[in-house]
Chains A and B, each alone.
Chain A
Amino acid sequence: KNEVEQSPQNLTAQEGEFITINCSYSVGISALHWLQQHPGGGIVSLFMLSSGKKKHGRLIATINIQEKHSSLHITASHPRDSAVYICAVRSLDDKIIFGKGTRLHILP
């Protein structure tokens, strides 16, 4: 079993829909990252969370440390949001563990 699990693996939605991507992990962590990787391969760090909730524009990330679960939400989704979204955690022994990513495709 992977230490970081993401769901869904693939998601196709219509423009404007509210998107939720989930990440569950089984190890103790000091931080969790949400990353965005575009088809060209470039990676952008969206959020770093250790507790609570963060918001940036149409993106919202939440984390529940007790439940070992984080969610990334996209409001009013747009085709330019199409990308792979990756959850990565920094474990307490300082290792970085990636989820397998969620491939999001927003249709115009």
Chain B
Amino acid sequence: AAGVIQSPRHLIKEKRETATLKCYPIPRHDTVYWYQQGPGQDPQFLISFYEKMQSDKGSIPDRFSAQQFSDYHSELNMSSLELGDSALYFCASSYRVFGGDTQYFGPGTRLTVL
């Protein structure tokens, strides 16, 4: 069965650069979630989208923005990168319209900021 796809899997950037992470949800899933997990830390919820509209916002810095496109894939744009942005970024998707809320996670993108 198709799973959540994230790209790239690994990304190395320098401070003050920008990065774009992509998430392709499971086909027919209408909700996408972004999470950030720093080294040795708990996952932190960043933002979610339902039917291409932002549905909830967590601890996402102002330097980050995200959107969900017409094909339901989502992109997390990160600007003015800081060393502290180095983390594993997970995307998850779910099919909310039937009330189901089980989230299926992608493999994550490991971002390293030098």
Contacts and interface: CB of A to CB of B under 8 A. Distances in A.
Given A94-B56, A98-B42, A42 B101 contact: no
Indicate the size class of the contact surface on chain A.
20 to 34
B56 A95 contact: yes
Nearest to B45: A96
15 contacts: A30-B101, A31-B101, A41-B108, A42-B105, A42-B107, A42-B108, A43-B90, A43-B108, A45-B104, A45-B105, A48-B101, A88-B43, A94-B56, A96-B48, A98-B44
Contacts, number: 52
Contacts of A50: 101
A78 interface: no
Nearest to A30: B101
Interface in B59-107: 88, 90, 92, 100-105, 107
B102 A33 contact: yes
Contacts of A88: 43
B55 interface: yes
